[in-house]
Amino acid sequence: MNLEKLFRKFSSDKFTHQYHQIYHSYLSNFRLKKLNILEIGVADGSSLKAWSEYFKNSKIIGIDIKQINLKKKKLNKKNIYFHCGSQTNKSFLDELKRKYIKFDIIIDDGSHFPKDVVFTFKELFSSLDTNGLYFVEDTQTSYNHFFGGNAFDLKYANTHVNYFKNLVDTLNYKEIPNPFYIKGKFDGLIKSVSFYNNMIVVKKGINDIESNLVLNNSYENKRYLMKTSRNKNSEFKYFIKYKIIFKIYTFILFLLNLFKKTILLRF
C-alpha cells in the first residue's frame, strides 16, 4: 500500500496536509531498508501505524510528552517502540540517543512551538545518520502568535522557519569571503534544506565542495594563489596587492558593516 492509502487507512492528518506527496518523494527508495525512524509526537498513533506498515523492516520509534497506552491504541506491534518524554528535555533526548545510537529519519510532529523545534533539531542532529533526513511538519506555527510565531516581522522573528532559512548560509559557508567568519556548527554537514507548504526537509550529508572564488573565507587568498601559479615572476607584486592592499580593503569593509549594524541596532 502506498503512503497516501496508509495515511487514509489510519486517518492520519498527514493526508489532509498532503504530506504524503513529499514523504513519497524522499522515502519510497528506502521502503525495504532496515532503518531507525524517530517520530516526535504520537497522539493516537495514526502515523506510527502507517510507518510501521510502510517500513516493515525498520524500527519505528515514537516519543510523546503524554503517556500512551499502546494496547488501547493498537500500537503493540513488533516494530513499534514508544518512549514517554518531552522533545525539550535534554537528558531524555540524550538517553534516546544512547539507546538507538543513530536515526536515519527524524520527523518532528510534536509541540510545533518554534523554540522547541529548533532546540530538538540542534540536540538530535548529531544522532542523525550522515545521509539522514530530518522532517519538520506544520511550520505554519512560525507565523502564529499563539505558538510564539510572528506574523508582522517575517525577517527577524525568532521562528523555526527563519532558523532553517538561515541554514542556507551553512550550505554556502565556503563561499563567504569574510576572514572574520566564524564557522557554524552545521557548516559542511548539510546537503540541502527544502521548504514546502508547512514542511521543511533537511538532508544531512558531507558538503565540502571547494569554492571557485574563495579560499579559507578570503577571495584575496584565492586570487593570490591563481595569479602566482600563472606568473611566478611577479610573486612580490601579487603579495603586496592581494595579501596586503586587498586585505586592508576587506578589513575596511568589515568595519563599515560593523558600524552600519551598530547604528541600525540589528545585532
Q: State the angle between helix axes of 90-100 and 114-124 in degrees (0 to 180), rounded to the nearest 10.
A: 40
**Does 64 help bind ligand SAM (rule: CB under 6 A)?**
yes
Site string for ligand SAM, 114-133 (x = CB under 6 A): --x-----------------
**Does 70 help bind ligand SAM (rule: CB under 6 A)?**
no
Nearer of residues 23 and 186 to ligand SAM, judged by Cβ: 23
Residues 86, 144, 194, 211: which binds ligand SAM (CB under 6 A)?
86
Do 133 and 201 form a contact (C-beta atoms < 8 A)? yes
Q: Which residue minimizes CB distance to ligand SAM? A: 41
Least distance in angstroms from the C-beta of 138 to ligand SAM: 7
CA distances from residue 84 to 61, 62, 70, 143, 153 in whole angstroms, order as listed: 11, 9, 11, 29, 35
> Of 225-254, which residues contact ligand SAM (CB under 6 A)?
none
The one-letter amino acid code at 59 reads K
> Of 185-224, which residues contact ligand SAM (CB under 6 A)?
none
- Give residues with Cβ within 8 angstroms of 139, minimum separation 6: 117, 160, 161, 164, 198, 199, 200
The SS3 assignment for 159 reads coil
Nearer of residues 96 and 128 to ligand SAM, judged by Cβ: 96
Do 171 and 190 form a contact (C-beta atoms < 8 A)? yes
Site string for ligand SAM, 22-61 (x = CB under 6 A): -----------------xxxxx--xx--------------
Nearer of residues 38 and 202 to ligand SAM, judged by Cβ: 38
C-alpha closest to that of 59 among 23, 96, 24: 96
Nearer of residues 104 and 220 to ligand SAM, judged by Cβ: 104
Nearer of residues 12 and 159 to ligand SAM, judged by Cβ: 12
Least distance in angstroms from the C-beta of 68 to ligand SAM: 8
Least distance in angstroms from the C-beta of 41 to ligand SAM: 3
**Does 139 help bind ligand SAM (rule: CB under 6 A)?**
no
Question: How far apart (Å, rounded) are the C-alpha atoms in residues 91 and 80?
Answer: 22
- Angle, CA 185 vertex, CA 110 and CA 42 arms, to 5°: 10
Beta bridge partners of 266: none
Q: What is the DSSP letter of 53?
A: H
Residues that bind ligand SAM (CB under 6 A): 12, 14, 39-43, 46-47, 63-66, 86-88, 109-111, 116
